[in-house]
A and B are shown apart, each in its own frame.
Chain A
């Protein structure tokens, strides 16, 4: 779905248009559910996160400002926060015997990123990071790991993980602003 169209549909939702809302659900929910599944690893929690995100989307559709960014990113954020909340309250087990090579999908992630301008810019900037830092950031976002979980998985000190992420995010920001 085109970004402009999604934004129009959200405006329609703000006016109470249920059909527009269903359209958004039909087009966006598979991606959103996939994201929630990836973070929660639990279909029931993922379903809850998706449900909650859409309730928020309906109730707050009027607050979304198309000038501020893409509606897709907004919706993705809604479901990510719900999924992250679900796993944080549940304190999921972190598998520590997984070798670091399997921690991330970074090489796949980079090639699969879509062709839109935003995505291309992010891809380009991610590539400027050292592979380990890129992996840590991608893994944090995609898998929803906290600082502590990343430190455990990678068998690194917590301070180092935090520092890597900060530096990595700083570099990304600088790069994206050029």
Chain B
């Protein structure tokens, strides 16, 4: 931790400047989830310092980056050139005249979640990355377990994924063929659960440490295969911390496993109703 006294403004500025080590940066991100003033301070510093970036020479990115973006978002090449019926007037004027001939675009995204006041926009969802990239934390500090104001603020109806998602890829354990992933939160270094695929197609979850949970709540597991829009309910995680679930022939590479906080017995709706507390991604296990 920094030796200098905590000050929200300083933390925000240092975070935006990029001088904090990884652990502290992750802590700031976590704090932003329940401290809207910190989130707003971060936004203000982003606006203040951004002009510095214009001193950097622009460089045309490789063509494959756009192709990957299109592919990952499920865009087809043809659709990118289609005019949108709802395009802002300014955007249309900017467009090449030839494109106007295209039929109206299909609006492909599901309705957006309402913006949550005070949260920095990027914190909703981090894209999945292949092995080796940084975690995003979603677990609240212990003191907030019993704070109903906190839960009211963070629990979202319907698809809770939109509010807080955690992605990780910390997968270098030597193991035979199959897929595995660590499901983690920041509060403790290391994993909360290890997930691994079994030869019979099932997924095994093993708790690596004692899992904190508030009274009258259960932790429920969800699977989100790559490209899927809705998480698939996998059941409540038993107190023993060990769980075997059917694989349902889901594609395992890049499959995200998420853990949300639900009422006792799990979500009554078939979709997460509480905040997503932990997450991880399955990757092929590499023999070292």
Q: Tell me the complex Cα distance, A78–B69, Å.
A: 15
CA distance A148 to B18 in the complex (A): 11
B15 → A minimal CB distance (Å): 9
Residue pair A31, B3 in contact (C-beta under 8 Å): no
Q: For this complex, into which size category does the number of interface residues on chain A fall?
A: 35 or more
Within 20-65 of A, Cβ neighbours of B (below 8 Å) are at 20, 22-23, 25, 29-31, 33-35, 37-39, 43, 46-48, 50-52, 54-56, 58-65
- A-B contacts, 28 of them at CB < 8 A, read A15-B84, A15-B107, A17-B86, A18-B80, A18-B84, A18-B108, A22-B80, A23-B94, A29-B60, A30-B60, A33-B59, A51-B69, A52-B126, A54-B69, A55-B127, A56-B122, A62-B112, A63-B115, A65-B115, A84-B25, A86-B133, A105-B55, A108-B55, A113-B52, A113-B54, A146-B21, A162-B2, A169-B10
Given A52-B126, A55-B72, A81-B122, A38–B56 Cβ distance below 8 Å?
Answer: yes
B10, B52, B80: the one contacting A138 at CB < 8 Å is B52
The 3 closest A-B pairs by CB, nearest first: A73-B50, A30-B58, A62-B112
User: Is A122 within 8 A of B52, CB to CB?
Assistant: yes
Given contacts A18-B80, A19-B80, A162-B4, contact A55 B54 (CB under 8 A): no
Contact A112:B54 (CB < 8 A) given known A18-B105, A18-B108, A169-B17: yes
B159 lies within 8 A of chain A by Cβ: no
Most-contacted residue by chain B among A39, A52, A145 (CB, 10 A): A52
CB pair A176 B55 closer than 8 Å: no
User: Chain B interface (Cβ within 8 Å of chain A)?
Assistant: 2-4, 9-10, 13-14, 16-22, 25, 43-44, 46-62, 64-66, 68-69, 72-73, 75, 79-84, 86-88, 90-91, 94-95, 99, 105, 107-109, 112-113, 115-116, 119, 121-122, 124-127, 129, 132-134
A72–B50 Cα gap in the complex (Å)?
8
Asked whether A55 lies within 8 Å of B94 as measured between CB atoms, the reply is: no
Contact B84 A69, beta carbon cutoff 8 Å: no
Residues of A within 8 A of B84 (CB): 12, 15-20
Q: How many A-B residue pairs have CB under 8 A?
A: 248
Tell which of B19, B60, B64, B126 touches A33, judged by Cβ atoms closer than 8 Å. B60
